[in-house]
Amino acid sequence: MKNTFNSFSFTTIMNEVIDKLGFTQPTEIQQEVIPAIQKGKSVIGQSHTGSGKTHAFLLPLFSQLKEERKEVQYIITAPTRELATQIYNEAKKIIKLADKEQVWKAKLLVGGTDKQKMMEKLKEPPHFIIGTPGRILDLVKEEAITIYSAESFVIDEADLMLDLGFIDEVDQLLIRCKKDIQLMVFSATIPQRLEHFFKKYLENPLHVKIANELSPETMEHRLIAVKHREEDEVIFDISKAINPYLAIIFTNGKENANKLHASLIEKGLNVGIIHGGLTPRERKRVLKEIQNLRYQYIVATDLASRGIDIKGVSHVINAQLPKEEEFYVHRVGRTARAGMEGTAVSLYREEDLKLIQKLEQKGLQFVFYDVRNGQWKDAKSWNERSLRTKTSTDIEKEAWKQVRKPKKVKPGYKKKMKQQQESNKRKLKKKTNYRKK
């Protein structure tokens, strides 16, 4: 029998909120971590985007909230202001559904907002602080807020926090918290450098790893060999073959993103760009334009695969494949959400074959295509091509072995030997084809 939310012994108010949210069954990550969070245990939750981890910590924390205590009880950190805003909006939704808008207080602390106004609002401490580590630390140093009273500290998307260089600020915040604070870390991957961080702050945490469901059944994965073409040419050809509602084109790094963005604009495509090198103001503007359906294509780095929520993505195009499987999963996870259909198209080179092989071994099914003049064409899979190359190389070697080498070298001997080899090759190919029949 499947678990239900009733088994968590939430407060009556929280059970009503869960009903209003339309939740019936807890997700796998919720099922595993909520009981541990309720017992005050520190947890590491490893799961992919869209697995329900935001409510895995929000629901038990709201259920344990002591509304009469007018002090900071919970700190939730996220690596980008967009992610922090998403969590804050979910928290506000819970407060509204609980009809506790005058009692339960949550504050969003992110950069790009008026610091002075924020300090004024913090004179009455909120129960929840949700924000980016840099802005929270800034306000703690200004003594606009104290966090020593906090019972629990959440680090969301910890690996992205590490990649973007914010883990030191998280460290600075934790130094200012109580020693026995409950720590909840959520991360899609656990890089080596995070292990050292965990050892410093976590004592016997519950480590829950939810196996990545590689991709929904409603998604198709297409592969196109780049060969001797330029990426922008292939992507421009793809644009003629598809009519996306919204397509994200992923690149490895912001330099590649800027270069590709400029090339595609030159070719007349309606393209936006988003990466960590943009100023907060630029990022905010681009996201607003995306929401207003200004672009049909967005060139992006891996920041957009997890750090930013972009709705309505019908296609994901990998201009360059990432180096690791998890990043492929995060990127393509931007499409085919909530039961919708989606297509992931990846340009690949010889150095990507190892990654493709690993993904295939994990059960991902790729369809091989080429695209020319806006037309999709079936293509041979990478291993069929390599098998064919190997077979022809083997036949060539065998044919050369069977060539009679002259004892005395006469003029034109090389030409005669080459003719013999070609003749032997034809015979061997006939023999091979006969056996196949």
Query: Who has greater pLDDT, 314 or 385?
Result: 314
Residue 344, phi then psi, degrees to nearest 5? -115, 125
Portion of the chain with pLDDT greater than 70, in percent? 83
Least-confidence region, from 67-81, 291-305, 331-345, 375-389: 375-389
Q: Do domains 5-209 and 219-379 have the same CATH topology?
A: yes
Q: Cβ(370)–Cβ(224) under 8 Å?
A: yes
Domain boundaries, the chain: 5-209, 219-379, 396-436
Question: Which pLDDT score is estimated for 412?
Answer: 62
Q: Cβ(242)–Cβ(258) under 8 Å?
A: no
pLDDT range class, residue 78, cuts 50, 70, 90: very high
- Helix ranges, 122-275 (H): 133-141, 158-163, 167-175, 192-201, 231-241, 254-266
Q: Is the pLDDT of residue 1 over 50?
A: no
Q: Is the pLDDT of residue 413 over 80?
A: no
Give the global pTM. 0.69
3-state class (DSSP) for residue 15: helix
Question: Which pLDDT score is estimated for 437?
Answer: 47
**Distances from the Cα of 98 to the Cα of 11, 18, 87, angstroms:** 11, 10, 17
pLDDT range class, residue 34, cuts 50, 70, 90: very high
The two structure tokens encoding residue 171 = 């460290």
Superfamily of domain 219-379: P-loop containing nucleotide triphosphate hydrolases (3.40.50.300)
3-state class (DSSP) for residue 163: helix
Q: Cβ(248)–Cβ(260) under 8 Å?
A: no
Average pLDDT over residues 61-73: 94
Average pLDDT over residues 291-296: 87
Question: Which pLDDT score is estimated for 233?
Answer: 93
Query: Which CATH number describes the domain made up of 5-209?
Result: 3.40.50.300
